[in-house]
Amino acid sequence: MTDPRHGAGRRALEVGGRTVLLSNPEKLLFPATGFTKRDLVEYSLGIAAAILPHLAGRPVTLARFPDGVDAPGWYQTNCPAGRPGWLAVAEVRGARGQTLRYCLLDDAAALAWAANAAAIELHPLLATLDAPATARALVLDLDARPPAGLRECARLALRLRERLHADGLASFPKTSGGAGLHLYVPLDGADGFDATKAFVRALARELAREDPGGVTDRLPLAGRAGKVLVDWRQNGGNRSLIAPYSLRAASVPLVATPVRWDEVATAADRGDDGSLRFGPAEVLARLRREGDLLAPALARGGRLPPARR
């Protein structure tokens, strides 16, 4: 790989036999910490082996912030017209019947290209191209509203783990990179997204009935203060979710990070939200030390039980 560290202009980076043109590598993306576009490119290459299996065969929406996180950004579903010729594109029918042309980020060069496009966040679809109607996993998206935070999400996640285990389902946690947690539950592929959404919605309703002061399944912001939302909507084939190892566009660079269940338990016990917040350097160190903790979520999982009533 050619080192692009000399000069602030346009540079050619060789990645896996492909040429990626880098522009303005010293551009500040996170001004508060000095994190630059070059840093994003290098981080993206550092996580390539871990993130690529989670992006494989999944159309990706790019959240782009070319002027950094302190300026407005946007979500780009259709792959940019100026993409390199080698970057794969997938045509997908949108919810309103329109044709969407998503980027496919299927190798390290594609990750470097996305980073150069200031795509700070990567949001793959839950559905895969080879089986778009098949739910290979369901996701429990736990989103806290202040004064609730990661501690409350961690406590709810532990309850959910027990319930899922009783249903014969394994679950694997990751932070959202913000104030939430995501639980990935691999399935056997026997059901579609209507079934997984119904299952999660019923489970969310059940939890909200048991703890109406701390859990909600209702989407409007009114009445959600201090509660954790179980966002059942995320279990649609046309829904996307922040990828594991993706950065988030916040004031400082934090990462959506796979974590161990004992780390979730520690956060639940101590109430230390900081114990579940990780920056890029920490995530790279975790990968070297522990590998991809979310890799088991890509394997064939259990059978979805009947939805709760």
Summarize pLDDT for 30-60 with one digit per residue, the tens: 999 999 999 999 999 999 999 999 999 999 9
pLDDT of 218 above 80: yes
Which pTM value belongs to this model? 0.94
pLDDT of 168 above 90: yes
Query: Could you tell me the sign of the dihedral formed by the alpha carbons of 45, 118, 4, 109, in that order?
Result: positive
The mean-pLDDT minimum among 172-181, 233-242, 264-273 falls in 264-273
Of 278, 222, 286, the closest CA to residue 250 belongs to: 278
- Under the banding of pLDDT at 50, 70 and 90, the label for residue 84 is very high
pLDDT at residue number 9: 67
48-55 vs 37-46: helix crossing angle, rounded to 10: 80
pLDDT at residue number 299: 97
Domain ranges of the chain: 11-124, 137-298
| Contact of 172 with 183, CB cutoff 8 Å | yes
**Cα–Cα distance for residue pair 189/265, rounded to 1 Å:** 30
pLDDT at residue number 10: 78
- Assess whether the previous peptide bond of 147 is cis (omega < 30° from 0): yes
pLDDT at residue number 129: 95
pLDDT at residue number 1: 42
- Angle, CA 42 vertex, CA 36 and CA 48 arms, to 5°: 135
| Contact of 164 with 185, CB cutoff 8 Å | yes
pLDDT at residue number 307: 61
Q: In the predicted model, what is the mean pLDDT of residues 196-218?
A: 95
11-124 has which fold? DNA primase, PRIM domain (3.90.920)
Q: In the predicted model, what is the mean pLDDT of residues 283-299?
A: 98
CATH of 137-298, one of 1.10.10.60, 3.30.420.310, 3.40.50.10860, 3.30.70.3300: 3.30.70.3300
Beta-bridge partner residues of 184 = 139, 172
pLDDT at residue number 100: 95
pLDDT of 272 above 80: no
